[in-house]
Amino acid sequence: MVQDLKKIFLNENAVLAFTAEIDMKGDSYENGEFPERISADVRVANHAGVVEFEAQTEFVFRFMCDRCNEPAEKKLAYRFNHILVAAHVEDNSDEYIEAPDYMLDTDALLRDDILLELPSKFLCKDSCKGLCPKCGKNLNKGKCGCPEKEVDPRLAVLSKLLEE
3-state helix, strand, coil in the chain (%, to 5): 20, 40, 40
Q: Per-residue pLDDT tens for 133-150?
A: 888 999 999 998 888 777
Best CA proximity match to 10, nearest among 96, 89, 95, 101: 101
Residue 121 has pLDDT above 80, yes or no: yes
Listed range (42-56, 89-103, 112-126) with the worst mean pLDDT: 89-103
Mean pLDDT over 35-64 rounds to 94
- Average the pLDDT over 12-30 and give the result: 88
- Whether residue 127 is predicted with pLDDT greater than 90 in this model: the reply is yes
Listed residue (19, 22, 28, 16) closest to 61, CA to CA: 28
Name, in order, each residue with C-beta under 8 angstroms of 73's C-beta and a sequence gap of 6 or more. 35, 60, 61, 62, 63
- pLDDT at 122 (0 to 100): 92
145: helix, coil or strand?
Answer: coil
How confident is the model over 106-118, as pLDDT tens digits? 999 999 999 999 9
Q: What is the mean pLDDT of residues 42-68?
A: 94
Query: pLDDT tens, 84-106?
Result: 998 776 666 677 889 989 999 99
pLDDT at 148: 76
Residue 93 has what pLDDT?
Answer: 64
In the chain, the percentage of residues whose pLDDT exceeds 90 is 61
Provide the β-strand partners of residue 42.
18, 55
pLDDT band at 164 (very low <50, low <70, confident <90, very high): low
Specify the higher pLDDT residue, 25 or 125: 125
How many Cα atoms are found within 13 Å in the side-chain-facing hemisphere of 132? 15
Q: What is the pTM of this model?
A: 0.79
